[in-house]
Amino acid sequence: MDTGAIASRHAEAFAAASDRHRRPSRAEAEAAVRTLIEWAGDNPDREGLSGTPERVARAYEEFFAGYDEDPVALLSTTFEETAAYDEIIVLRDIRIESYCEHHLVPILGKAHIGYLPAGRVVGISKLARVVEAFAKRMQIQEALTSQIADAIQETLKPQGVGVYIEAAHQCMTTRGIRKPGVSMVTSRMLGSFRDDPTTRREFLTMIASSRNAPYES
C-alpha cells in the first residue's frame, strides 16, 4: 500500500475525529487514569499511586504535544542566500520518541532527513522540530515517515527529499510476541531521491555510518 495514502488517511481520520469529539477536561483525563489503575488491579488511593493520575495527564501533554504543532508553519521561514549551494543537505540521527497508536507504548529510534534544495534552505533545527511535531502523536511508523517527507516536499519544494527511520516498537518487544532487539526500517523518497539512483545512493551512503549506532529500546 502506498505510504502517501496511509499518511493522507491518517491525517483525515485525525481531522474527522477532532471535529466529532471535544477534548476532555484535565479532571476527566485523570479520572480515566484512575479507572485504568483500578482495572489493572491496584488501588489508586494508596500512597504510591495517589498522585499518578495527575502525573500521567501532565506526561500525556508532553508525549502528544505534536497535536498542537503545525509542521507547515515550522518550515515557513526559509533562506535564499545560499551562495548557490546545490548539493544534498542531510540531518542525521534525529531521535524519535513516538507512541504506537494500537497499544500506546513507545516507538524509539532515529530519523535521517536529506533534501536537495531548489534555491532556498531551512534552518536545520526546523527539520528536527518537524520530526517532533509528527512523532509526538499516536502513530504508525509508515505514516510518520510519509508525513515528514511530504511536509518538507510540499512546503520547501526542493528537487527531492529522503526520509529514513529505524525504530524499535515496544508493542513488539515488551508484549505480544516479545522479540527484543528487533527494529523496523521505513523510508520515503520523493523527487530526485526517487527518480535519480545516484542521488538516492548518495543520501543512503551519507547516513550509512550512523544507521547501526545503538539507540534506547
For the segment 64-78, what is each residue's pLDDT rounded down to a tens digit? 999 999 999 999 888
CB 99 within 8 A of CB 47: no
CATH classification (class only), 71-211:
alpha beta
CATH classification (class only), 3-63:
mainly alpha
Pair type for strands 89-100 and 138-139: parallel
What's the pTM value of the predicted model, to 2 decimals? 0.85
> Is 103 known to be catalytic?
yes
Calculated CA dihedral for residues 176, 177, 179, 185, nearest 10 degrees = -90
Q: Find the catalytic residue in 69, 103, 170, 202.
A: 103
pLDDT in tens, 133-168: 999 999 999 999 999 999 999 999 999 999 999 999
> Is 171 known to be catalytic?
yes
Calculated CA dihedral for residues 40, 172, 95, 195, nearest 10 degrees = -140
In the chain, where are the structural domains located?
A: 3-63, 71-211
Q: Find the catalytic residue in 69, 97, 170, 171.
A: 171
pLDDT in tens, 28-76: 999 999 999 999 999 999 999 999 999 999 999 999 999 999 999 999 8
Q: What is the predicted pLDDT for the residue at 16?
A: 53
